[in-house]
A and B are shown apart, each in its own frame.
Chain A
Amino acid sequence: MGMDQLPEDVVTGILSRLARRCLARSRVVCREWRATVDARRLLRTDGLPLSVGGIFVNVRGPAPAEFLARPSKGPNRISGRIQDYVQPLPIPMCPYVEGCCNGLLLVDNNVVNPATRQWARLPPCPPIHGELEGFDDYKECLVFDPAAAVSSPPHYEVFLVPYVYIDVNLVEEGSQWPPSPCVIQVFSSRTTRWEEERLFDEDNNKRDAMDANSEWDSDNDSIRDIIDCDEKLDFGSVASIFGLDEDDNKRDAMDENLEWDSDNDNFRDITDCDEKLDFGSIASIFGFHPFREVIFLRMWNDRIVAYHFNTLKVQELGEFEVEYAGRVIAEAFVYTPFWKRELLMEWIKG
């Protein structure tokens, strides 16, 4: 007995810690290792969030977030009912998607993976000290980089970012934001604890810091629905901005299958519909495809369409009716499923 006779679980534990290059070399070492790499799909990108699985939508008022996705009968069904993951909340509170990053959701202090139906509850955050003491309004920002998961055990972090409403008239001359040193609480799934992290120490980094701050929201795929804003956007103007109405003939049916669900189910496209899309009416931006030049739009009649900038094609994704009348959409999160189970398992045990 020796290292060439290790049980498969053990080999998996070793190989899953390797970076891709090293893993590819290890695959050559012997038949058993090769079988493990292939069976556990360690080198493949199947589990990574490389397709859009649906869109989570927060609705104003006491209703849980809803999930817009193509109905799927396959074995890999994504559970869009986020209320299944969280402890019942006192009425009228409802689970609300606070953040979404590469397949993980932040829901009411839980990190949730709807694809693997796993979740983990965040421990309570210790009190904030230092310059930011006294701020009571925070936004929790979830950060998860699954590409890093190849070289090290996957982990995610939650940043507790102070939320500041600035009244320009009340700002004192010479006051600075963020304060220096800026110490915020960061939760890491690697350590399973909150720890203080100094963000910006140098004064001259301050400007960058503020930019970074505002970018975090877009990292979280958080897209404010225009309907939520005071001004309604007329699609006619959007169309001219993006060149949507260049040529009527170009608005053909999509041949290409938009990666929407794992069933590879083809979408109905507009040629299948009796009615033409009415581009003259009010539409709102529902979200952006994370890595393709595609914008998701919500039409006046609750239809959701994907518009492909490269091909100038429109594809119908389905209908999104807010379940309760009179509720408005607050936020929409384009969701890319992450299928690997390792991430949340370890911690749930703990």
Chain B
Amino acid sequence: MAAPESGDGNNGAARMVTLISSDNTRFEVEAAAASLSQTLQLTILDGGGGGGDGIPLPNVDSATLSKVLEYCIKHAPAAANGGAPNATAVDRAELERFDNEFVNIDQSVLYSLIMAAHNLEIEGLQSLVAKKVADMIKGKSPMEIRRTLGFPDPTPEEQAEMNAHMLEYGWAYE
């Protein structure tokens, strides 16, 4: 699916939309970048978000939104190319480098990003953050996973339940 090009005008200037974070900060961004969000795409296709209106995003604060938009702006050209069949290996390597760097962040920021990617349905970002968390989990024991992700300590009841379930797939601990 190509990024929406309606409303680009014929003079080459990219169409801009305004997004408003939960703390009322306004972000002006190219429609093509914002359209990486499946949630926003329909509104934008309908011509929303332009001019003084802006699209309110009550679930996303400004710090997170600015991070999300950094991702969208970087990935928009490749997405507009329909998965970028023309992209060179250099372009792809650059995107990969950007992605790796992008998720090299504090866990609280990562959590906000996960929720924003989920709420805004940004497919590429959803896989990127899911992969990041999966990488954090790899090779760890259940307790280590809990600690890594900042889960509260299990109650004695939960601990007993965990011990019981560890027996079910014993081979996973060999």
**Which A residues lie at the B interface, using CB under 8 A?**
1-4, 6-7, 9-10, 13-15, 17-22, 24-31, 34, 43, 123, 153, 192-193, 346, 349-350
What is the CA–CA distance of A192 and B92 in the complex, to the nearest angstrom? 13
What is the CA–CA distance of A123 and B86 in the complex, to the nearest angstrom? 13
5 A-B interface contacts by CB (under 8 A): A6-B114, A9-B118, A27-B169, A192-B85, A349-B123
Chain B residue at smallest Cβ distance from A4: B151
- 8 additional A-B residue pairs with CB within 8 Å, beyond A9-B118, A29-B162: A2-B111, A2-B149, A3-B150, A4-B150, A17-B134, A25-B145, A29-B142, A43-B169
Q: A2-B111, A4-B151 are in contact. Are A14 and B138 (CB under 8 A)?
A: no
**A25–B118 contact, CB under 8 A?**
no
Q: Is the interface of A mostly helix, strand, loop or mixed?
A: helix
Which single member of B114, B166, B169 contacts A10 (CB below 8 Å)? B114
Contacts of B140 in A (CB 8 A): 22, 25
Q: Taking the complex as formed, is B90 at the interface, i.e. its CB lies under 8 A from any CB of chain A?
A: no
Contacts of A43 in B (CB 8 A): 169
What is the CA–CA distance of A30 and B1 in the complex, to the nearest angstrom? 38
What is the CA–CA distance of A91 and B21 in the complex, to the nearest angstrom? 56
**A14–B1 contact, CB under 8 A?**
no
Which residues between 126 and 160 of chain B lie within 8 Å of chain A, taking CB atoms? Answer: 126-127, 130-131, 133-134, 137-142, 145-146, 149-152, 154, 158
**B130–A29 contact, CB under 8 A?**
no
**B107–A3 contact, CB under 8 A?**
yes
**B131–A17 contact, CB under 8 A?**
yes
Most A C-beta atoms less than 10 A away, residue of B115, B134, B171: B134
**A25–B130 contact, CB under 8 A?**
no
Report the minimum CB–CB distance from A219 to chain B (whole Å).
27
**B83–A25 contact, CB under 8 A?**
no
**B130–A13 contact, CB under 8 A?**
yes
**B1–A350 contact, CB under 8 A?**
yes
Which single member of B83, B150, B158, B162 contacts A350 (CB below 8 Å)? B83
Report the minimum CB–CB distance from B146 to chain A (whole Å).
6
Contacts of A7 in B (CB 8 A): 118
Contacts of A14 in B (CB 8 A): 130, 133-134, 137
**A349–B1 contact, CB under 8 A?**
yes
Q: Taking the complex as formed, is B172 at the interface, i.e. its CB lies under 8 A from any CB of chain A?
A: yes
What is the CA–CA distance of A2 and B152 in the complex, to the nearest angstrom? 10
Q: A10-B118, A24-B172, A192-B83 are in contact. Are A17 and B130 (CB under 8 A)?
A: yes
What is the CA–CA distance of A18 and B132 in the complex, to the nearest angstrom? 11
Report the minimum CB–CB distance from B113 to chain A (whole Å).
11
Contacts of B154 in A (CB 8 A): 30
Report the minimum CB–CB distance from A11 to chain B (whole Å).
9
Chain A residue at smallest Cβ distance from B162: A28
Contacts of A25 in B (CB 8 A): 140-142, 145, 169, 172-173
Q: A2-B111, A29-B146, A192-B83 are in contact. Are A24 and B137 (CB under 8 A)?
A: no
Contacts of B161 in A (CB 8 A): 31
Most B C-beta atoms less than 10 A away, residue of A21, A153, A349: A21
Q: A1-B111, A4-B151, A29-B146 are in contact. Are A22 and B118 (CB under 8 A)?
A: no
